[in-house]
A and B are shown apart, each in its own frame.
Chain A
């Protein structure tokens, strides 16, 4: 019986430098047992590096890494009982699908019957029955992906590590696979750390999302909290698609002044925000809608994109770009000024200098 730890994987003040350049300043992060944690952030922010430090493929320059309460900072990768799915799959090219999946177990002397059982299960689960004797090079990207997952799966590790496993797949397969991975992880109850730069993937799969920027963790929260209560402007702009609109303005007597337009604050915001503070006013495209705390903005549409379920208006407002999502029946013509409703209860306000949400 595996002992259950509240914090299954813990990073304490872990940092990483390459040469003289510090790419990860000391970082703290704990991952609960059975949790699906997603690391997300723009390219080059240190997600892969963090994951590789957990795996032991990269030495931490400072700090401690604990797995199940054991300090593994100086352990070899093999001693950490993690299994990893690499961005480019990293399958053994000269081995068949079956051999790829069973290789580690064969090396570690797992009993033949047990191997057959586990490999059989994995193959059935991942729908690889027709390919077991094929070499990776004669598989499609999605099939290779599944083999890589199968290989990670059968070892029954303590922790799954995924490094952008879906980035090479087409959009449709990516959507399918992310559901499959999520279901699989939940079924097995194995702790998982998943790296992606796709915020959609992060939102749909994660129990908790870690948003990183330049090696620094900006926010760790459940997807919905990230969406509703982003801690700063960076997180707000990173989470949600299309991205949140930001406009410079200032608070004046229960309203936000944006150039020569004014929108009325919701009562809570009006009570919270002092007059005359300069703010960055943030509103998501999908929150241009009718509601109890409604206000209005007029803008000049440049491009109108009917997407079926809704229509996107890319326009300009007081010289700033703005994206608005409206109902498909909304009457709008390019270059003809129009007025859209705003749900002010969904508005966000950020400090213009620090970017912190007010």
Chain B
């Protein structure tokens, strides 16, 4: 038999001391995030109303059943999905384009770099308020622009398709900088000699983008879009300020729906159930997206 090796002893020590490192963090996570989650889950199986107060009563899956059978829920999913899909697509395309332009050092790039990032630093509420003024049916400059071409006053925020378009524009305006920031970082991290090799090999700028830049940034792109999608699903403040979900519930998003249930009707059981439905919807969309992304990545692997 060989004596116990020194390395093995060190390894055992490390394995023992792992508890010291893991448990505090684990307990914190447990208390801070898991407990509220479990509590919300329990509440979602109950009927609780705060105003007027009704004592909690276990109702099983009734809340969920009610949600799934309500047209308002499916409407809010559709609205959210439309806003998210279109705005994230626009954010990505415009953001990537801007990042490419900035990367190729156009004149005054450092100025643009700062200016382009500003919208991201504004609170969504402020952005929504600004947008509300811009798109005001009578006083807004956007309306003025249209009336120059002889169009009558347009009530941007009260016609459902237009209202959704405005929401998409506001989302895109605010979050494109995020895409610019990350894609620019990605571009600057790419090895420059690979592109020089392509230039020497007489590869056109478009083919360089299509065959080299894009595939090399694909993993980053997937992550950026994923983050924007998840974040996009949480949209509430912009909609709340701009349209309040109206006209009717035609622009109501999932979170706004939950908000209305919770803070207008104070129907906590229903709200918790809605939050979990929201989680499920995000997971479904996220998984579908990742599965699709995986297929694209595999084509390049």
What's the interface size class on B, roughly?
10 to 19
When the two chains form their complex, are residues A57 and B200 in contact, meaning their CB atoms are under 8 A apart? yes
When the two chains form their complex, are residues B200 and A84 in contact, meaning their CB atoms are under 8 A apart? yes
A197 to chain B, nearest CB (A): 18
When the two chains form their complex, are residues B201 and A57 in contact, meaning their CB atoms are under 8 A apart? no
Q: Indicate with 1 or 0, residue by residue over A30-64, a CB within 8 angstroms of chain B CB atoms.
A: 00000000000000000000000001110000000
Quick one: which of A87-102 are within 8 Å of B by CB? 87-88, 90-94
What is the bound-complex CA distance between A268 and B42, given in angstroms? Answer: 106
Given the contacts A90-B194, A94-B215, A76 and B199 also touching, CB distance less than 8 Å: yes
When the two chains form their complex, are residues B203 and A78 in contact, meaning their CB atoms are under 8 A apart? yes
When the two chains form their complex, are residues B201 and A86 in contact, meaning their CB atoms are under 8 A apart? no
Given the contacts A92-B212, A94-B215, A103-B211, A82 and B200 also touching, CB distance less than 8 Å: yes
What is the bound-complex CA distance between A91 and B201, given in angstroms? Answer: 12
List chain B residues, Cβ under 8 A from A84: 196-197, 200
Complex partner residue of B193 from A86, A94, A155, CB under 8 angstroms: A86
Q: Indicate with 1 or 0, residue by residue over B287-301, a CB within 8 angstroms of chain A CB atoms.
A: 000000000000011
List chain A residues, Cβ under 8 A from B282: none
What is the bound-complex CA distance between A91 and B196, given in angstroms? Answer: 11
What is the bound-complex CA distance between A77 and B196, given in angstroms? Answer: 9
B219 to chain A, nearest CB (A): 10
A/B interface sample: 16 pairs, CB < 8 A: A56-B200, A57-B199, A57-B200, A76-B199, A77-B202, A78-B199, A78-B203, A86-B193, A86-B197, A88-B191, A88-B193, A90-B194, A90-B197, A91-B194, A151-B201, A155-B201
Is residue B207 contacting chain A, with contact meaning CB distance below 8 A? Answer: yes
Given the contacts A90-B191, A90-B193, A83 and B200 also touching, CB distance less than 8 Å: yes
When the two chains form their complex, are residues B194 and A104 in contact, meaning their CB atoms are under 8 A apart? no
A94 to chain B, nearest CB (A): 5
When the two chains form their complex, are residues A94 and B216 in contact, meaning their CB atoms are under 8 A apart? yes
When the two chains form their complex, are residues A90 and B202 in contact, meaning their CB atoms are under 8 A apart? no
List chain A residues, Cβ under 8 A from B300: 94
What is the bound-complex CA distance between A117 and B198, given in angstroms? Answer: 22
When the two chains form their complex, are residues B216 and A86 in contact, meaning their CB atoms are under 8 A apart? no
What is the bound-complex CA distance between A90 and B212, given in angstroms? Answer: 12
What is the bound-complex CA distance between A354 and B204, given in angstroms? Answer: 50
- By a beta-carbon cutoff of 8 Å, the part of chain B in contact with chain A is 191, 193-194, 196-204, 207, 211-212, 215-216, 300-301
| Identity of the chain A residue whose Cβ is nearest the Cβ of B297 in the assembled complex | A94
List chain A residues, Cβ under 8 A from B202: 76-79, 104, 108
Can you name 17 extra interface pairs (CB under 8 A) apart from A76-B199, A78-B202, A86-B197? A55-B200, A56-B199, A57-B200, A77-B196, A77-B202, A83-B200, A83-B201, A84-B197, A84-B200, A86-B193, A87-B193, A90-B196, A92-B198, A93-B216, A103-B211, A104-B202, A107-B204
B159 to chain A, nearest CB (A): 46
What's the interface size class on A, roughly?
20 to 34
| Identity of the chain A residue whose Cβ is nearest the Cβ of B197 in the assembled complex | A90
Residue from B191, B199, B201, B204 whose CB has the most chain A CB atoms within 10 Å: B201
Given the contacts A92-B212, A94-B215, A94-B216, A104 and B193 also touching, CB distance less than 8 Å: no
When the two chains form their complex, are residues B199 and A77 in contact, meaning their CB atoms are under 8 A apart? yes
- By a beta-carbon cutoff of 8 Å, the part of chain A in contact with chain B is 55-57, 76-80, 82-84, 86-88, 90-94, 103-104, 107-108, 151, 155, 161
List chain B residues, Cβ under 8 A from A108: 202
List chain A residues, Cβ under 8 A from B194: 90-93
Given the contacts A94-B215, A94-B300, A104 and B196 also touching, CB distance less than 8 Å: no
What is the bound-complex CA distance between A104 and B207, given in angstroms? Answer: 10
When A and B form their complex, which 3 residue pairs have the shortest distance between CB atoms, in order from nearest?
A: A78-B202, A90-B193, A104-B201
List chain A residues, Cβ under 8 A from B212: 92
List chain A residues, Cβ under 8 A from B197: 84, 86, 90-92, 151
Residue from B196, B198, B199, B200 whose CB has the most chain A CB atoms within 10 Å: B200
Complex partner residue of B203 from A82, A90, A93, A107, CB under 8 angstroms: A107
What is the bound-complex CA distance between A85 and B282, given in angstroms? Answer: 48
When the two chains form their complex, are residues A107 and B200 in contact, meaning their CB atoms are under 8 A apart? no
| Identity of the chain A residue whose Cβ is nearest the Cβ of B193 in the assembled complex | A90
A233 to chain B, nearest CB (A): 36
List chain A residues, Cβ under 8 A from B196: 57, 77, 84, 86, 90
List chain A residues, Cβ under 8 A from B301: 94
List chain A residues, Cβ under 8 A from B211: 92, 103, 107
What is the bound-complex CA distance between A57 and B203, given in angstroms? Answer: 14
| Identity of the chain A residue whose Cβ is nearest the Cβ of B208 in the assembled complex | A107
| Identity of the chain A residue whose Cβ is nearest the Cβ of B202 in the assembled complex | A78
| Identity of the chain A residue whose Cβ is nearest the Cβ of B214 in the assembled complex | A94
A18 to chain B, nearest CB (A): 16
B185 to chain A, nearest CB (A): 18
| Identity of the chain A residue whose Cβ is nearest the Cβ of B218 in the assembled complex | A94
Residue from B193, B202, B204, B207 whose CB has the most chain A CB atoms within 10 Å: B202
List chain B residues, Cβ under 8 A from A104: 201-203
| Identity of the chain B residue whose Cβ is nearest the Cβ of A86 in the assembled complex | B193
What is the bound-complex CA distance between A96 and B100, given in angstroms? Answer: 26
What is the bound-complex CA distance between A84 and B212, given in angstroms? Answer: 18
List chain A residues, Cβ under 8 A from B193: 86-88, 90
What is the bound-complex CA distance between A79 and B215, given in angstroms? Answer: 25
What is the bound-complex CA distance between A293 and B238, given in angstroms? Answer: 96
When the two chains form their complex, are residues A107 and B207 in contact, meaning their CB atoms are under 8 A apart? yes
Residue from B196, B204, B215 whose CB has the most chain A CB atoms within 10 Å: B196
What is the bound-complex CA distance between A92 and B203, given in angstroms? Answer: 13
| Identity of the chain B residue whose Cβ is nearest the Cβ of A105 in the assembled complex | B201
What is the bound-complex CA distance between A90 and B197, given in angstroms? Answer: 7
List chain A residues, Cβ under 8 A from B199: 56-57, 76-78
Residue from A80, A82, A87, A93 whose CB has the most chain B CB atoms within 10 Å: A93
| Identity of the chain B residue whose Cβ is nearest the Cβ of A52 in the assembled complex | B196
What is the bound-complex CA distance between A351 and B235, given in angstroms? Answer: 81
| Identity of the chain B residue whose Cβ is nearest the Cβ of A163 in the assembled complex | B193
List chain B residues, Cβ under 8 A from A78: 199-203
